């Protein structure tokens, strides 16, 4: 009998049927991050991913930060400010890419990926319209975990960095319009706004998203007369509620839009598309009927623009004239106020880096932070973004299928 019991016990052990302790996850120890901040090399990109104040915060929490020399020059941050914050200034461009986590504003170039030893984390913007297939293949070969900061959501599900940059673009567009209307810019000599006894400047805003909302706020604050157009009734209703004042709003109907544009002094294009190119809603004939000396600002130019007469310009030569109308079509308008934009970017990234260190690394943050996980488009060389996979005919895998193995 005893022999039978022993045989049965042996069989149960071999089959793994004995009750065992439940294995609970043990939180990893807080890790020290090595973060690299390279100098931006993209054309007229003046922003920097982390400001000295954010660097000081990271250093105080036990992390290391490498900053390439003159990385903050475009935003008027000196090497001395970064050094005093505790960062190590790197004079060899290749040296900063040896860090475990690399933070940039613009997407990586082939040269920058070549500097990387591999198995690192790269956090930057992801520009779907201009992202080359070769860049994705190079990142994959280096087993890089690539994260797009413009796709990271906050705890409320909002693309926080994109919203902040849109707020900056909307407010700045009104400041630019006021400058272009002045006599010293060969404009009409109008003050953007209104004073008692003088007819206010008329502004048309196309798009009731974040850019349109903040452009409208700024224009109303200056005393201008504003009309807002959008193809979504719910966005127009939300805009009315958020502003707290009644403004003229309308669905995008060609005849109504053409009439408003014909009378406008400034037209701001702030439409966005979730599927690629922005719809072109203002024809060349509408532009030709505008008052001479009027101003058009196409904030949507990075997605193709919503004016038929638009073409991309830059900060060195920001405007051109067509049909007597001044056009401003700079895609990276936030770089015009690069210091403010850098603070805004840094304010979102630095808390994520601190949480990453507290959780023991980037993999643990990806697993536990759904909003951060939304920004991952490549994990350890595996493409995880469905849109990129279909556009470039590359194999991809859902990040949620990889998570159990992390």
Q: Tens digit of pLDDT for each residue in 84-122?
A: 999 999 999 999 999 999 999 999 999 999 999 999 999
pLDDT of residue 31: 61
> Is pLDDT of 332 > 80?
yes
C-alpha 196/C-alpha 204 separation (Å) is 21
The CB density around residue 145, as the number of other CB atoms within 10 Å, is: 22
> Is pLDDT of 169 > 50?
yes
Q: Are strands 382-383 and 64-68 parallel, antiparallel or unpaired?
A: unpaired
Q: Which CATH number fits domain 34-151+337-405: 3.60.15.10, 3.30.2010.10, 3.40.50.720, 3.40.1160.10?
A: 3.40.50.720
- Listed range (4-18, 42-56, 134-148, 253-267) with the worst mean pLDDT: 4-18
What confidence tier does 187 reach under pLDDT thresholds 50, 70, 90?
confident
Q: What phi and psi, each to the nearest 5 degrees, are found at residue 122?
A: -120, 120
pLDDT of residue 12: 55
- The stretch 166-182 carries a mean pLDDT of 93
- The stretch 186-196 carries a mean pLDDT of 81
- Listed range (87-101, 121-135, 170-184, 327-341) with the worst mean pLDDT: 121-135
pLDDT of residue 78: 95
pLDDT of residue 207: 92
DSSP helix, strand, coil percent of the chain (3-state; round to 5): 45, 15, 40
pLDDT of residue 27: 46
**Distance set, CA 364 to CA 27, 54, 85, 114, 360 (Å):** 9, 22, 28, 27, 7
Say which CATH superfamily domain 165-331 falls into. NAD(P)-binding Rossmann-like Domain (3.40.50.720)
- The stretch 297-311 carries a mean pLDDT of 89
- The stretch 163-177 carries a mean pLDDT of 93
Q: Which residues pair with 375 in a beta bridge?
A: none
- The stretch 44-61 carries a mean pLDDT of 94
Reported pTM: 0.84
pLDDT of residue 196: 82
Beta strands (DSSP E) in 51-143 are: 64-68, 88-90, 101-103, 121-124
> Is pLDDT of 30 > 80?
no
What confidence tier does 25 reach under pLDDT thresholds 50, 70, 90?
very low
Yes or no: say if 148 and 375 are a contact pair by the CB < 8 Å rule. yes
Chain region(s) in the chain for CATH 3.40.50.720: 34-151+337-405, 165-331
Structure-token match 């007597």, residue found: 324
Q: Which residues pair with 266 in a beta bridge?
A: 203, 295
């Amino acid at each position: 009998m005893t022999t039978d019991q022993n045989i049965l016990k042996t069989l149960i052990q071999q089959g793994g049927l004995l009750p065992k302790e439940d294995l609970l996850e043990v939180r990893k120890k807080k890790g020290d991050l090595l973060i690299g901040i390279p100098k931006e090399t993209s054309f007229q990109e003046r922003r920097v991913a982390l400001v000295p104040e954010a660097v000081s915060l990271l250093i105080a929490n036990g992390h290391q930060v490498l900053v390439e020399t003159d990385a903050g020059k475009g935003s008027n941050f000196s090497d001395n400010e970064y050094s005093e914050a505790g960062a190590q200034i790197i004079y060899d461009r290749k040296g900063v890419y040896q860090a475990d986590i690399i933070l940039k504003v613009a997407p990586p170039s082939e040269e920058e990926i070549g500097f990387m030893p591999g198995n690192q984390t790269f956090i930057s913007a992801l520009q779907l319209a201009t992202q080359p297939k070769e860049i994705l293949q190079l990142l994959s070969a280096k087993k890089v975990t690539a994260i797009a900061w413009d796709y990271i959501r906050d705890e409320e599900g909002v693309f926080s960095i994109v919203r902040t940059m849109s707020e900056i673009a909307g407010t700045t567009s009104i400041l630019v319009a006021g400058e272009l209307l002045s006599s010293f810019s060969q404009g009409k000599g109008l003050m953007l706004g209104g004073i008692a006894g003088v007819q206010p400047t008329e502004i048309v805003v196309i798009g009731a998203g974040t850019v349109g909302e903040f452009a409208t706020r700024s224009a109303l604050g200056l005393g201008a007369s504003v009309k807002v157009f959008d193809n979504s009734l719910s966005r127009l209703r939300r805009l009315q509620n958020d502003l707290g004042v009644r403004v003229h709003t309308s669905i995008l109907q060609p005849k109504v839009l053409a009439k408003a544009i014909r009378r406008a002094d400034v037209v701001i294009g702030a439409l966005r598309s979730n599927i690629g190119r922005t719809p072109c809603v203002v024809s060349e004939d509408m532009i030709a009927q505008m008052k001479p000396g009027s101003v058009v600002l196409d904030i949507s130019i990075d997605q193709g623009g919503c004016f038929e007469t638009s073409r991309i310009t830059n900060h060195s030569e920001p405007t051109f004239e067509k049909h007597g109308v001044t056009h401003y079509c700079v895609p990276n308008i936030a770089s015009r106020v690069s210091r403010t934009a850098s603070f805004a970017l840094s304010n979102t990234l630095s808390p994520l880096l601190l949480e990453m260190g507290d959780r023991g690394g980037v993999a643990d943050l990806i697993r536990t932070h759904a909003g951060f996980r939304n920004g991952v488009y490549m994990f350890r060389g595996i493409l995880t973004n469905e849109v990129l996979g279909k556009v470039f005919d590359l194999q991809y895998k859902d990040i949620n299928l990889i998570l159990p193995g992390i």
